Amino acid sequence: MFRAAEALSMNYYIMRCPMVELIVKDTVNRALQSDPTLAAGLIRMHFHDCFLQAGGPVYDIPKGRKDGRRSKIEDTRNLPPPTFNSSELIRMFGQHGFTTQDMVALSGAHTLGVARCASFKNRLANFDSTHNVDPDIDTQFANTLIRTCKAGDNAEQPFDRSRNTFDNNYFIGLQNKAGVLSSDQTLFSSPQTRGIVNNYAMNEAMFFLDFQQAMVKMSLLDVKEGSKGERKPATEKEGIYTEMLTLLVLIVSSLVIVSGNVETASPQFSAMFAFGDSLTDPGNNNYLTSLAKANYVPYGVDFYQGQPSGRFCNGKTVIDLLGELLGLPLLPAYADPLATGQNILKGVCFASAAAGILDESGQNLGERFSFRLQVQNFESILNQLKNVMDDQELTKYLRSSLAVVILGSNDYLNNYLLPSLYASSYIYNPADYADLLIKHYTRHILALYSLGLRKFFLVGIGQLGCIPNQLATSRPPPGKCVSSVNDMVGQFNIQLRSLIDQLNKSHLDAIFVYGNTYGAFGDILKNPHAYGFTVTDEGCCGIGRNRGQITCLPLTIPCMNRKEHVFWDAFHPTEAVNRILATRAYSGPPDDCYPINVQQMADYR
């Protein structure tokens, strides 16, 4: 079935139209910017043609296909119906030479586009003799589908929450029993394919690679030879159109993978306002007199055009990635002169490297916006918003916005754990210090509440005893973390989770959610290979023991296998870890987010 691949040529267009691929790629790019929903249809066209009449290659592989001599509706019977179970899908794909892994990867194309109600309404009523609704559907998601279908058989339901973004949310949805079609959810329900789904849900890069390889394999399927196909003369207008259309289908898949994001989905919150430290600083400290800056290479090596932005990471922060899941753009840094007018309507990031809950935390590193100052900065942003909204509009806007707080690490790393510079460890025992932090933290949260915010995602402190800096400084036994440090931050997290309950009881018009970064990070460190990581105890960029004694310096050459590293530098995680944490925050179970996750917060009224 792949035997005719030699009939194609890498250089088929080199003489006839050497610029055709660049022309089509540019055309596709502009078309997708205008209408991002085209991506799903074009990928489906490629899938349809390859299973029925053969389509073209996706990446840099042989070109020069012939058109099939027939195109009839009955041929679509060879496509897998939406009711197939995993065994039927494995058998059908296997008949075309695809492995089980190929099949699951190709199913991931459902990360784009929608399904019509007619294809899944059988799951919503009179499902079988014992169940009215398919038991493999999450109850809340089933209610969503039922509401969709009230509009009729042609009503459309996105396959995942980021319908125009090529990502791994499709597989995360399957884990949460939110597959739209039976043929989707069966991939997680079946032991034959569940492991592959879990791998793709945890490791987006693995999905991208396998999808690319499977699409290339599909493009070599049933190539037409001789009289079985025809190639219209390139001098004919119709012939040129056919070839351009074929190339368009070939290129669109690589475009959506390379860009990752065709266009963000409709935002699930009016805006997001982020408060934090270097874990989420998008460049605020670039404008301050501070030693805590990341505005130099190799920071940002995997960010936009490989340029440093001020983010303490090789790529995107957890706030950036959570924003993607929510359909929001990158948040501007508060201190950026461009953070005005229309640029702030979708939110602002106030995070500042070295900042803490306490004003004095991090003062050894120079200027920073402490939590108190970040609240004041938010108030100044509100004054700007009052110029474009009336009181009623602003109230509604703030109530439907998300506030994310990721603070506390510097109150330990750049305060309590530096007895030569700070007296806090002499004055307070760990329990009393955690109590002090929570009292200040509560005061600032209530200040934000008084300013109109009503949806709060309050993130605990991660396992600081496991970061390269602490491993290098305290030198625990190999494979171990600094348990005393983890115990300290654990006490803070326990009190923060308790605060969540108190706030939810006393402020019934708001929702407060605890993000269990400590537990999520611990899971990654305990099971690194399940997430695709091979290095857990040293930075990708740094100097000395554990590459953590001195953090990433200007022009330092970082490791090449960044996606296999948990830590980017002495203190901060890689983008790969940030992506996992963002996903767990967005759609994780109660162990990750208590009492609900961020996705559920969006629907909270």
Tell me, what CATH number does 310's domain have? 3.40.50.1110
Same domain, yes or no: 247 and 276: no
Residue ending a domain, choose from 196, 229, 259: 259
Same domain, yes or no: 240 and 354: no
Radius of gyration of the chain (CA): 26
CA–CA dist 496, 503 (Å, integer): 10
Q: Are strands 565-567 and 535-539 parallel, antiparallel or unpaired?
A: parallel
Nearest CA to 113 out of 68, 150, 164 is that of 164
Same domain, yes or no: 243 and 309: no
* 554 is known to lie in a ligand binding site: no
- Tokens 């404008």 belong to 287
Same domain, yes or no: 390 and 505: yes
pLDDT tens, position by position, 447-495: 999 999 999 999 999 999 999 999 999 999 999 999 999 999 999 999 9
Residue 200: inside a domain: no
Contact 92, 70 (CB under 8 A): no
Residue 551: inside a domain: yes
Q: What integer pLDDT is reported at residue 210 of this predicted model?
A: 81
Residues spanned by the domain of 302? 272-603
Angle between helices 20-34 and 237-259 (to 10 degrees): 60
347: β partners: 272
If DSSP codes are grouped into helix, strand and coil, which group holds residue 115? strand
Contact 200, 206 (CB under 8 A): yes
Which residues, at least 6 apart from 575, have a Cβ–Cβ distance to it below 8 Å? Answer: 302, 313, 314, 315, 316, 321, 562, 568
Q: What integer pLDDT is reported at residue 545 of this predicted model?
A: 94
State CA 409 to chain mean position distance: 23
151: DSSP letter? T
Q: What integer pLDDT is reported at residue 50 of this predicted model?
A: 45
Catalytic residues: 278, 569, 572
Nearest CA to 438 out of 391, 494, 495, 487 is that of 495
Residue ending a domain, choose from 259, 283, 298: 259
Residue 156: inside a domain: no
Contact 112, 164 (CB under 8 A): yes
Same domain, yes or no: 248 and 328: no
Angle between helices 86-95 and 191-202 (to 10 degrees): 80
If DSSP codes are grouped into helix, strand and coil, which group holds residue 67? strand
Residue 188: inside a domain: no
Residue 138: inside a domain: no
Q: Are strands 272-276 and 347-349 parallel, antiparallel or unpaired?
A: parallel
Same domain, yes or no: 237 and 295: no
* 167 is known to lie in a ligand binding site: yes
Same domain, yes or no: 232 and 332: no
Residue 184: inside a domain: no
If DSSP codes are grouped into helix, strand and coil, which group holds residue 312? coil
Same domain, yes or no: 251 and 354: no
Q: What integer pLDDT is reported at residue 264 of this predicted model?
A: 40
Residue 201: inside a domain: no
402: β partners: 272
Same domain, yes or no: 246 and 389: no
Same domain, yes or no: 345 and 211: no
**pLDDT beneath 50: ranges in the chain:** 2-5, 10, 46-62, 73-77, 232-265
Tell me the CA distances in angstroms from 260 to 490, 500, 605, one per residue in order. Answer: 36, 35, 31
Same domain, yes or no: 240 and 351: no
Total domains present in the chain? 2
Q: What integer pLDDT is reported at residue 35 of this predicted model?
A: 55
* 395 is known to lie in a ligand binding site: no
Q: What integer pLDDT is reported at residue 52 of this predicted model?
A: 38
- Residues comprising the chain, all counted: 605
* 477 is known to lie in a ligand binding site: no
Same domain, yes or no: 405 and 332: yes
Q: How crowded is residue 295: how many other Cβ atoms within 10 Å of its Cβ?
A: 16
CA–CA dist 329, 229 (Å, integer): 46
Residue 291: inside a domain: yes
CA–CA dist 431, 487 (Å, integer): 10
Alpha helices in 260-336 (DSSP H): 318-326
Contact 574, 314 (CB under 8 A): yes
Contact 505, 450 (CB under 8 A): no
* 96 is known to lie in a ligand binding site: no
pTM of this prediction exceeds 0.95: no
